[in-house]
Amino acid sequence: MTVHLSTMLRRSHDGQSAKPTAVPMPAAAPVPARTRVTRARTRNAPAASPTYTSWRGVPSDWPTQIVLPPAPAHPVAGFDACTAPSLATMRVWRRGYAAVGAYIGGVNSACAFGNLSAAWIRSVAAMGWGVLPTYVGPQAPCWDGGNGVRITPGKAAAQGNAAGAYAVSDAKQFGLALGSPIYYDMEAYVGGTTCKRAVLAFLGAWDRRVAADGYVTAMYSSRDSGIANIEQWTAGHYPGFTPPDAIWVALWDGVASLGGDNLAWPLTERSKQYSGNATVTVGGITLNIDRDIVDGPVAR
């Protein structure tokens, strides 16, 4: 999300830096009424009934149930920066934003925690912020990101399981309750079948480990690499791949909207990073950020 992998990487995704400006919270885009499919992760899932169906985002042996959401959700303005801003800054920036990305760890995370702590997360939640906790583990074998740690094709599933355990440990260190999301940051990559299948095996194992430990699984990646691949694998029920519960799409098109993209995940399980490297001022306090529109799960 910003200046580590993210300044090096993410900022090579799509789009250009925005001009310095004060940014008001955009109007909430309405989400059309729809049914929502929830995955039954419990070991003793209810017996199948006429209300059960299958969805292309869920493995065939994973029972699902169609339920109506309590009310249509609305996306909110969000941002992510390399390090967690001070609580004083977060209090002022709450005038324009309601969600914030925060790096909680990972072998490839090059950002310091800054102000981040369990107390920080509790404090910003009390201000009304939702947090997108992000873990930056091994990257694709074909990732062009310098000397960072990469996935080894022959060991991808084992590495994914280990990274999932580390991510859960970091989440607990920062006081994130069970049921909170953890976003895996898989930076943009370009490669062939061997590389993509290694990413598939890694992410599937990571998802299963994180879910088994009681957290919501999510993934951040570029629309034309990681997101495109997991969409293909989800729709195709690729063996060894378990889809994440939610996605965070990096697409620097400058459009603060979640619509217009036919993905397997409903809008309420998506967020989008729509611009990056922006110098933004709110209430006289200036930060360098990536801008997001958030309707997916957040920690509070």
87 within domain boundaries: yes
The predicted pLDDT at position 73 comes to 54
Mean pLDDT by 10 residues, the chain (300 residues): 39 32 35 31 29 34 35 78 96 97 95 93 96 97 92 96 98 96 97 95 96 97 96 89 95 94 93 96 97 95
Note whether 50 and 182 are same-domain residues: no
140-153 residues labelled b (16+ CB within 10 A) or e (exposed): bbbbebeebbbbee
120 plus 84 within the same structural domain: yes
pTM tops 0.85, yes or no:
no
Domain of residue 51 covers 35-71
Whether 257 and 281 share a structural domain? yes
Give the type of residue at 87.
L
162 and 246 within one domain: yes
- State the CB neighbour count (10 A cutoff) for residue 24: 11
* Angstrom distances, CA of residue 68 to CA of 38, 73, 265: 10, 12, 15
Q: H or E stretch including 139? A: none
Shared domain for 55 and 152, answered yes or no, is no
Instruction: Note whether 187 and 99 are same-domain residues.
Output: yes
Q: Would 159 be classed as within a structural domain?
A: yes
Residues 87 and 198 in one domain: yes
Q: Which amino acid is at 250?
A: A
Q: Is there a single domain that holds both residue 53 and residue 83?
A: no
Cβ distance 81 to 289 under 8 Å? Answer: yes
Question: Do 83 and 64 share a domain, yes or no?
Answer: no
Per-residue pLDDT, 133:
97
Give the bridge partners for 294, in sequence order. Answer: 76, 271
- Quote the number of domains for the chain: 2
User: For residue 257, is it within any domain?
Assistant: yes
Q: Are residues 213 and 122 in the same domain?
A: yes
CA atoms of 246 and 264, how far apart (whole Å): 10
Which letter, b or e, does each residue of 219-239 get, where b requires 16 or more Cβ atoms within 10 Å of its Cβ?
bbbbbebbbebbbebbeeebe
CATH number of the domain residue 120 falls in: 3.20.20.80
* CA nearest neighbour of 288 among 297, 300, 279: 279
Please indicate, yes or no, whether residues 42 and 183 belong to a single structural domain of this protein. no
In-domain check, residue 265: yes
What does the buried/exposed string (b/e) look like for 96-113 if buried means 16 or more CB atoms within 10 Å of the residue's CB?
bbbbbbbbbbbebbbbee
Q: Is 177 exposed, middle or buried (0-12, 13-18, 19+ CB in 10 A)?
A: exposed
- The residues facing 181 across adjacent strands are 216
300 part of a folded domain:
no
C-beta of residue 226 within 8 angstroms of C-beta of residue 189: yes
Q: Is residue 189 part of a domain?
A: yes
Same domain, 41 and 153: no
